[in-house]
Amino acid sequence: MEERELVEYFRAQIREDPDVASAVAAIRSLLEFLKRDQSESCLVFRESVQGYEMRMLTNACASLGETILGLRENQTKAIQRLEETDSSVAVSSGGELFLRFISLTSLEHPDLSQCKNVMIERGELFLKKISLSRGKVGKLCHTFIKDGAKILTHSSSRVVLKVLENAAADNKRFTVYVTESQPDSAGKLMAQKLHNLNIPVTVVLDAAVGYIMEKVDLVIVGAEGVVESGGVINKIGTYQMAVCSKAHNKPFYVVAESFKFVRLYPLNQQDVPDRFKYKADILKTVKDLNQEHPMIDYTPPSLITLLFTDLGVLTPSAVSDELIKLYL
Amino acid sequence: MGERLTTSTLLVTEEDEKKHEIIGAKGEGKELTKEEKQRLRKEKKQHKKNKKDDRGPPEKEKEKEKASVPAPSKPATQSPAHKAAPVPVNASASESPVAAEKPAKSKAELRAERRARQDSERASKQGKKEGGQQSTSSKPKATPNELQPVVKRLPDHVQVDDPVALKKLAKKLERQQVPLRSDYGYKVSLFSHLHQYSRKNPPTQQISIPVTVIHPSIVRLGLQYSQGIIAGSNARSVALLHAFKQVIQDYSTPPNEELSRDLVNKLSPYISFLSQCRPLSASMGNAIKYIKKEISNIPSQCKEEEAKRILQECIDSYINEKIILASEAISKYAIEKISDGDVILVYGCSSLVNHILCEAFEKQRKFRVIVVDSRPRLEGREALRRLVKKGIRCTYVLISALSYILPEVSKVFLGAHALLANGYVMSRVGTSQIALVAKAYNVPVLVCCETYKFCERVQTDSFVSNELDDPDDLIVTRNGKTHLENWQTVKSLGLLNLVYDVTPPDFVDLVITDLGMIPCTSVPVVLRVKNVDQ
């Protein structure tokens, strides 16, 4: 499967189902890539076997390793390609986790096709698990919304929408304030969606976060990535909101699925890598990044009260524990 | 009474003879043979028994009185217990005039008393179980405690103001034939539970020559520790492991002994000696635990040469994996965190941090370093020398200028002596000050530490367990003036030369270990993962 096809498939996935998380779409594309990759590498395998008829066994084994390694390389290249298309942190983390999940059994089976099948099976399993994660998070979090609560949220997040949906279905009365979230005005989109759910919603300016903080009871935001320290990477303006909520002693909740856990450890805003801060096409075209506005910022763990994930309700210090379990 | 005197005097004279033999042997520096050690032990036991007999009769009379008074008030379930109790007491009362004469009889009597006590305890426990049905919710917590009182033992080196602990330590050292080092000078009251030694009296002076009890490489190591020639936790651990390699090389299994058990016993007096020279660090403790485990895992059918080879290899691989390769891995992670144009602050001389900075410089990163130093050790000068030799641009300040220099700094790199199980960082005194001020200026603080320095201890302040260095180090000032020369004559003056302090995890942003970059609160997770691996 060519890289072009991969990107097309990815874009098609997002177009067809706008509600799907970009990471899930990326993983689906990677799985498809893996399936279609089968024929190519089998070809390579057959050629190598024909070439070394005498020492078939040893060389077959060697080429087996080669093709599996080649598989992994192809997958990594595919992930990089997808990152270039959509530079969100979630794609990077989801891709890496996918690769780790399927390649845990890479060298157990001597037969290549069997190995391949196992990898594909595991890939499907992984995909199924993460498709359910948003529902799990929604179920966990909505109990923290009390009747009569006033909630502040930032920009447009599908997970937060799910949470609010669940809370509304539970017959709770609450009002929502959404920030406009320039430069793409995603907040207005969120307000529209909430309006369709019959939840009273008000759109506020980004600059009005300090003003509105005394009125609200709690703050819920989504995340594009959860880093090792327990902090989160999210749309620009989240850090401001977190600092304000800390100053007013309001709880600051983050809702995120577990595939967004990424092995980054930023120390401050500058330490976040450039490839996440700006949109993919800007990275390719613009020379001087100092003139561009970053799209995300980093919120340190000291400002976050709790994280709601499909692994459970975690404090920021427990995120590292989970990451160690996932990666080590 | 007359009989008793003669028997005891007989015993005394016999003991004296044997003692003279043994004292003579000790004076010559010969190691006590097994028989002599056993004889010493038997005599001590006899002594104790005689003392107990003298005290025995008056105590038993008191017991009898106590037992008779509460007897009528106790409930029916307790009656079997009491039936047992008065019996030995009566027996003892009848025997008490005779007991003084014959020590053999008192042994049987003591045994009977002990059995009775156990019976009574068992009966009372049963009674409580049957009787207290309503109070089971409150009782279960009480009964396990009665069954097994869990006593947490404090290490010896933090109980210096407790005379009982001191006596125990002295006895243990005497048994191992290791010289006891005495404390020096007036100790500040808050730290009176710690040892304070003077560098002018190393314990090596109290050992006779030729040394046959303690291996000479250990003696040399002890001297190097106590004089501060080898300093820094990595250096100390590596030197310790090399000395142990030498010890293992020169070791020969005595007949009828197993290497796996005897070698561990041989190492104990060495370790006591080294801890007398300078208290053991956490890294040294972990290394010693590893060696002891490896030694006891040697199969018994293994030949001596083979076993020695295995142990040498184990030690080499430990040093290689946990120290050398770990520092490579840590440098790799740390270099990601150093960007061009950085101003990095370091404190004191940490071998790991120096290694990281030299590696980063070789990888063409553009940064400059500010070295912070403090008296009396002035270790920063060594770090400065190493960095300048590489060609790194450095600035040198004393710790009092910290808040002046910190607005320029972009990152702080600190080394650690140990990482405690609750996430606190134990490091050279002054580190927590730097972390505190850096936090106030919002400068990220990174601690670099290998995983072999992680320890299970928990500490929240710098008082409970620390090290006191020689107070005379504080006497000399920069100009060479010694105003404090006669500080011992002033009764109310105490000089405090602390070595370590602990930094809370809120001030540390990141810990770089060979396992990766983790937040300070994840140290117990790493310890758990490591224990599972082992």
Tens-place pLDDT, residues B505-529: 999 999 999 988 999 888 888 888 7
pLDDT at position B129: 58
Please choose, from the candidates A250, A224, A227, the residue with its C-alpha nearest in 3D space to the C-alpha of residue A238.
A224
Angle at A162 between CA A156 and CA A166, to 5 degrees: 140
Task: Retrieve residue B392's tokens.
Answer: 């790194």
Residue B522: which of A267, A302, A321 has the nearest Cβ? A321
Length of chain B: 534
Residue B525: which of A265, A270, A320 has the nearest Cβ? A320
- For chain A positions 193-232, those within 8 Å of chain B (CB to CB) are 228-230
Strands A312-314 and A296-299: unpaired
Contacts with B473 (C-beta within 8 Å, 6 or more apart), sequence order: B199, B376, B377, B497
Is the whole model's pTM more than 0.80, yes or no? no
Residue A230: which of B411, B519, B529 has the nearest Cβ? B519
The answer to which of A68-72, A298-302, B101-105 has the lowest mean pLDDT is B101-105
Q: Where are the beta strands (DSSP E) in B382-444?
A: 393-398, 411-415, 418-419, 425-428
Using the structure block, give the residue that is written with the tokens 């909101």. Answer: A241
Q: Taking CB atoms and an 8 Å cutoff, what residues of chain B touch A324?
A: 518, 522, 525-526, 529
Residue B346 CB: number of other CB atoms within 10 A? Answer: 26
Rounded to the nearest angstrom, the gap between the alpha carbon of residue A189 and the centroid of all alpha carbons in its chain is 20
pLDDT of B122 over the 70 cut? yes
> Could you tell me the pLDDT band of residue A256, with boundaries at 50, 70 and 90?
very high
Task: Retrieve residue A187's tokens.
Answer: 């907040």
- For chain A positions 282-301, those within 8 Å of chain B (CB to CB) are 301
- Burial of B71 from C-beta contacts in 10 A (0-12 / 13-18 / 19+): middle
Task: Retrieve residue B144's tokens.
Answer: 């396990």
Average pLDDT rounded to a whole number, residues B58-75: 46
Query: Is the CB of residue B517 less than 8 Å away from at least one CB of chain A?
Result: yes
The answer to which of A32-46, A237-251, B29-43, B178-192 has the lowest mean pLDDT is A32-46
Task: Retrieve residue B364's tokens.
Answer: 């063409």
DSSP letter at B29 equals T
pLDDT of B227 over the 80 cut? yes
Minimum CA–CA partner of A266 in chain B = B337
- Which of the given ranges, A242-251, B55-64, B136-145, B171-180, has the highest pLDDT on average? A242-251
Average pLDDT rounded to a whole number, residues B482-511: 90
Q: Where are the beta strands (DSSP E) in B348-473?
A: 367-373, 393-398, 411-415, 418-419, 425-428, 445-448
Q: Taking CB atoms and an 8 Å cutoff, what residues of chain B touch A301?
A: 519
Query: Is the CB of residue B102 less than 8 Å away from at least one CB of chain A?
Result: no
Neighbouring-strand partners of residue A306: A253
Tell me, what amino acid is at B227?
Q
Handedness of CA B133, B139, B140, B145 (dihedral sign): negative
pLDDT of B131 over the 80 cut? no
> Could you tell me the pLDDT band of residue B132, with boundaries at 50, 70 and 90?
very low
Predicted-complex ipTM score: 0.77
DSSP letter at B280 equals P
Integer angstrom CA distances of residue B210 from A216, B29, B202: 81, 8, 17
**Cα gap B90→B337, rounded to integer Å:** 80
pLDDT of B76 over the 50 cut? no
End-to-end CA distance of chain B: 62
Looking at chain A, list the stretches that DSSP marks H as alpha helix, in order from N- to C-terminal side. 3-16, 22-51, 56-85, 89-102, 112-141, 158-169, 186-196, 209-212, 238-247, 274-277, 280-285, 316-327
> Could you tell me the pLDDT band of residue A184, with boundaries at 50, 70 and 90?
confident
Rounded to the nearest angstrom, the gap between the alpha carbon of residue B144 and the centroid of all alpha carbons in its chain is 29
